[in-house]
Structure 1
Amino acid sequence: MGYNLIVFFFLLFFSLANAGLNFYISQQESFRVLGLVAELAYVRDGSINDVAQHFVVPVPSHIQELCFVWVNADSKAVKYSIFTKDNSMQPVNHVSLNISNQGVVPREPQIFCLLLPCSTYLPSKLEVSMKINFTSFNNVTVLNVVMKKDCSSEDFRNIDQDVLSKVIPAEDSSFMLFVAVGIAFGVLVVSLAAASCFLCPKHNLCRQQPQTQRTIAPNNGTAVYSPVQASCTEEAGVATLYVNDPAAHQIVAEDKPSFRLQRNNIIIGKTLLEGTFGSIFHATLQIPGIPLQDVIVKTVKNNAAETQVRLMMEEGTRFQDLKHQNIYPLIGIVDGDGCRPLLVYPSVTYGNLKRWLLYCRGSLDGSLPHPLCTQDLVTIALHVLRGVQYLHQQNIIHKDLATRNCVIDDLFHVKLTDMALSRDFFPNDYHCLGDNENRPIKWMAMESLTRRDFSTASDIWSFGVVLWEVTTLAQQPYVEIDPFEVGRVLRDGYRLTQPVNCPDELYAIMAYCWSSSKSDRPTAPQLYRELHQFHQTLNEYI
């Protein structure tokens, strides 16, 4: 009798210790994957459903991920550790989670996903098991979830499609712990990086490919103007623009005359990029007594409105006083002569970073992709982050961090640029939510999107998206989400998925940038230390 009583109290204590734990597949997800209008509960109020645990979830071939909901409503924290295994017999597990493999079960219902992409590395009949250990009061509850997926009819070319995941906003300490632990396990990084589709021999980079033109952006048949001095005529390749408001051209203070250039100092060359209202030209800067200098010129077309001219000048002169190796400098301005203004920058061999990444992927002009090593992708991110750190030291918030607002030069140094004419050159990256203002919705932090609250922390959120862009070679973020729904899905905990073959440690750094609370995000110096240490670990083992 006494023994049974002890067992009873032990079981009662164990049940109460996990009484607030729930783990299930929602009714909506069950209908999406199984076609059943029912919730599949694995753990309900701390009790494991043995029937569900032995149920093999059949995942259709077109489903790329299976999502679960979990919550710990108890006052005591419940830690978890997750292990996944597939039947591929490969040394690297190709099935991945969009959360860390260990941490704390959230206090509010949150969603996470197990990514189940088909590939040529996996068998046509994919079997996956996910084991979760829940720990509370030094007691461990073990849950097993088994899935099967038919990959025989999968189109492997679509494996890198952008899939939304639901990342749990973890506590600051758990994220830092995960990043630290991940960096310590350098050997694991090596195995993950070696599986990357971007991995290459150490020196097999884009820069080794023969370059036949000054920038990688194709001209698409754009006429090349003969080198003549720029004037207010169409024959010089610069259309006449008359603006009724003279102030639209005079954003730069008059106490900086050395910053102004004469129009006859600019020899316009070929068109590099053209939008609806703006153009970018290759040009030559010709100043008496100074060697000729290749430059890039931004300007507006003759159909640009006064507000567009003013906006270009305001945004184009934000960084005019800054000097840093990772900030794209503005050489000078041509304006005040009744013609359309010109913003003059130094020439960069590979041009816009976003277009260069697309070129390396092979999607810009249909050519074969040029592989990039994981180290190179992290190096690009470090260059961007250096520029961000410098801006924050100068008390400047960028507000539009993205690969489209970066350039890469002949030494493969990446530099942050202003956002002048970006809305025109990359219209698919900006959206209007009914307020007549085009904004980079899918790069913006939650507080910037909902409250127009911009800070160094909102720049860090955007940098996380930049890191995701670099890792995916310029895929579009949240491609499946309507711009009007972005704010809602972010509040619901949705985040960008872990890119295919992106090391867990690198994705943890991205996710750290996307914490819902501004105070939980890292500062630029903290982020730089983590990325730099990760980069050093890669170099040591590869």
Structure 2
Amino acid sequence: MAGTTAAAGRGASMNFWRALLVLWSCCSDTVCRGGPGVNVYLSVEETRRLIGLDAELYYVRNDVVSYYALPFKLLVPGETNSLHFTWHAKSKVEYTLGFQVDNPAVMGMPQANISAQGEIPRKESVFRVDLLCTGTFDSEVAMEMQLNLTINSSKNITVLNFKRRKICFKIDAVHTAPATSTRVFYISVGVCCAVIFLVAIILAVLHLHSMKRVELNDSMSESGSSQGLSQPSTQTTQYLRADTPNNATPVTRSDLKELPGCNPEEERHNGVTQASKKSGYPTLRIEKNDLKSVTLAEAKARVKDVAISRERVTFKDVLQEGTFGRIFHGVLVDEKDPSKEKNVFIKTVKDHASEVQVTMMLTESCKLRGLHHRNLLPINHVCIEDGERPMVLLPFLNWGNLKLFLRQCKLAEANNPQAISQQDLVHMAIQIACGMSYLARREVIHKDLATRNCVIDDSLQVKITDNALSRDLFPMDYHCLGDNENRPVRWMALESLVNNEFSSASDVWAFGVTLWELMTLGQTPYVDIDPFEMAVYLKDGYRIAQPINCPDELFAVMACCWALDRDERPKFQQLVQCLTEFHAALGAYV
């Protein structure tokens, strides 16, 4: 198991590096004023030497500074003792160069083969920085190179900080050859390790096979229960478009204004202030999960003002059913005009549901209450009459749950002319990102974003819902890690897993996993990883692998959402812009 996990992790890590290189040029650049035509980057050879990728890594490209690439601390292996930077400028730009080392006892001050100050060459050239380990300790040293660029014409100063982590090893004064008995011991240990490794591989293969079988059974059972998807199965297919372009058309502010769900005028009418739009997100707010502190009486009191009579509700078809919960397609009669009716989703519980389960259904149904956005689906009404099972009513979308819809697409026939396209999937992702951007501006944390908590109609309009009854209707997506609480472990950020902390940044992490779900048509992420090992797996830098037929540009967006440091993750506004640019590029080729 360990061998398989490590191999998968190395593959995912390589894809992660590749994705970051693309994303650094997509949504994190800031213009350096003055226009002197400055370029500072790592050549293909240097990038291959440091991180094994055949690509140029730009820190400054034609005066545009990548503030996503600069703070990333690249690891310099022990056998690498020099760094090479390529640079040039079209007009006069002066520079000053300086270094800092956090542990001089392990590594001395770096030395460059250029002067500490001067003028950037007009022709493309390379300068070298030597990293000199003292050889007295085995340790990792944090090194920072500061390059200040000054444009004489405007006296504008741009500060570039390049961060590296250098591995240094202790140099032994005396090297003695091992005795014969020592060699025999090492050989014996090696044979034992080989045997253990083979056994681990066999166990890992058996475990993976059993997990895949469980996943397939779960997929079939969930698809079988999705009677609410009114679209015929002949209108979907499992194939996606693979011919995607590498460039993206820039999106202007007017384009974003016309994007469904992201209209600034609509958000202003819904209570978003101008100040919050100018400053991006409000101060990051972190919450803990505290659902268990709410009583049934308190939950009913929260929804009392939207309570209606049960006589106005008529049940039709069962859309989904779990151990103690059900979702129906129903009809709500207008209170003033009984001849008018509208279709609704009805969430309710069975007779044997406990008080805790009823309380959680009502409490979680209030998550989006009072919010108004075209990509959100808050509750309309509730029925909480004494002696009856509580019911929660939401507007009806005729293709129902998004996860079940995607899985029906995957199971459909391949020659279907009504196949869902990759452009459709990206459009769904944009709508979800728009809804989440609105929630972030309103300082609302969803805490359980996933395709299972979204619904879709026949025009591919996607709306985000609450997570009421999701634990019961999608039990394979939730796990208890010994704390007596079922949580969506495979969708959670590391800080949520370890410290039970949730914020808009953790919602961004979950959006990255949701985007992965879209591109795989409803597959379960991290299906071969034990839920108890998820925190260690993420902390070690491993992520889900790039889906088949998923372009690098799209996987780059996912990868950026999974940064361990929550401050390094993009905002939902940035995600909307990146996805919109990619969607526009797809449209130009369809």
1:488: which partner in 2?
A: 536
Query: Which letter maps to 1:392?
Result: A
Report the CA distance between 1:512 and its aligned residue: 0.8
2:331: which partner in 1?
A: 284
1:42: which partner in 2?
A: none
CA contact (8 A) 1:192 1:502 kept: no
Which residue of the other structure, out of 348, 351, 363, is the alignment partner of 2:397?
348
Question: What SS does the corresponding residue of 2:302 show, helix, strand or coil?
Answer: coil
Report the CA distance between 1:305 and its aligned residue: 0.9
1:146: which partner in 2?
A: none
CA contact (8 A) 1:249 1:335 kept: no
Structure 1 residues 70 and 351: CA distance shift in structure 2, 3 A: closer
Looking at structure 1, the residues matched to 333 and 52 of structure 2 have their Cα atoms a distance apart, in angstroms, of: 53
1:514: which partner in 2?
A: 562
Question: What SS does the corresponding residue of 1:390 show, helix, strand or coil?
Answer: helix
1:247: which partner in 2?
A: 297
Structure 1 residues 475 and 315: CA distance shift in structure 2, 3 A: same
Looking at structure 2, the residues matched to 390 and 82 of structure 1 have their Cα atoms a distance apart, in angstroms, of: 42
Looking at structure 1, the residues matched to 490 and 5 of structure 2 have their Cα atoms a distance apart, in angstroms, of: 28
2:230: which partner in 1?
A: none
Looking at structure 1, the residues matched to 534 and 6 of structure 2 have their Cα atoms a distance apart, in angstroms, of: 23
1:403 matches 2:451: yes
1:468 matches 2:513: no
Deviations 1:186-222 (A, max 9, x none): xxxx974389xxxxxxxxxxxxxxxxxxxxxxxxxxx
Deviations 1:215-259 (A, max 9, x none): xxxxxxxxxxxxxxxxxxxxxxxxxxxxxx8616614254x2xx2
Structure 2: unaligned runs, 5 residues or longer: 18-40, 58-68, 78-82, 87-125, 129-208, 214-240, 247-294
CA contact (8 A) 2:493 2:506 kept: yes
1:193 matches 2:256: no
1:428: which partner in 2?
A: 476
Question: What SS does the corresponding residue of 2:502 show, helix, strand or coil?
Answer: coil
1:306 matches 2:355: yes
Structure 1 residues 401 and 383: CA distance shift in structure 2, 3 A: same
2:279: which partner in 1?
A: none
Report the CA distance between 1:29 and its aligned residue: 8.2
Identity of aligned residues (%): 40
1:121-520 correspondence to structure 2 within 5 Å: 135-136=84-85, 138=126, 192-193=243-244, 247=297, 250-254=300-304, 256=305, 259-290=306-337, 291-362=340-411, 371-520=419-568
Question: What SS does the corresponding residue of 1:298 show, helix, strand or coil?
Answer: strand
Structure 1: unaligned runs, 5 residues or longer: 1-26, 34-62, 72-76, 85-96, 111-133, 141-157, 163-189, 196-244
Deviations 1:108-146 (A, max 9, x none): 489xxxxxxxxxxxxxxxxxxxxxxx9557389xxxxxx
Query: Which letter maps to 1:266?
Result: V
Question: What SS does the corresponding residue of 1:193 show, helix, strand or coil?
Answer: coil
Query: Which letter maps to 1:276?
Result: T
Deviations 1:429-458 (A, max 9, x none): 001100000000010011111111211111
Query: Which letter maps to 2:347?
Result: K
CA contact (8 A) 2:367 2:446 kept: no
Structure 1 residues 502 and 444: CA distance shift in structure 2, 3 A: same
Deviations 1:460-502 (A, max 9, x none): 0110001111011111100110000000010100011111121
Question: What SS does the corresponding residue of 2:315 show, helix, strand or coil?
Answer: strand
Higher RCO by CA contacts (8 Å cutoff, separation 6 or greater): 2
Query: Which letter maps to 1:351?
Result: G
Structure 1 residues 511 and 299: CA distance shift in structure 2, 3 A: same
Looking at structure 2, the residues matched to 109 and 418 of structure 1 have their Cα atoms a distance apart, in angstroms, of: 45
Structure 1 residues 519 and 70: CA distance shift in structure 2, 3 A: closer
Question: What SS does the corresponding residue of 2:244 show, helix, strand or coil?
Answer: helix
Query: Which letter maps to 1:503?
Result: P
1:539: which partner in 2?
A: 587
Query: CA RMSD for the aligned pairs?
Result: 3.9
CA contact (8 A) 1:353 1:403 kept: yes
CA contact (8 A) 1:250 1:336 kept: no
Looking at structure 2, the residues matched to 191 and 428 of structure 1 have their Cα atoms a distance apart, in angstroms, of: 30
Superposition TM-score, scaled by structure 2 size:
0.53
Structure 1 residues 249 and 139: CA distance shift in structure 2, 3 A: closer
Looking at structure 2, the residues matched to 460 and 384 of structure 1 have their Cα atoms a distance apart, in angstroms, of: 11
Report the CA distance between 1:529 and its aligned residue: 1.0
Looking at structure 1, the residues matched to 15 and 587 of structure 2 have their Cα atoms a distance apart, in angstroms, of: 38
Looking at structure 2, the residues matched to 479 and 494 of structure 1 have their Cα atoms a distance apart, in angstroms, of: 14
CA contact (8 A) 2:16 2:556 kept: no
Looking at structure 1, the residues matched to 516 and 5 of structure 2 have their Cα atoms a distance apart, in angstroms, of: 29
Query: Which letter maps to 2:311?
Result: N
Looking at structure 2, the residues matched to 387 and 284 of structure 1 have their Cα atoms a distance apart, in angstroms, of: 26
Looking at structure 1, the residues matched to 457 and 7 of structure 2 have their Cα atoms a distance apart, in angstroms, of: 47
Paired positions, count:
348
CA contact (8 A) 2:479 2:486 kept: yes
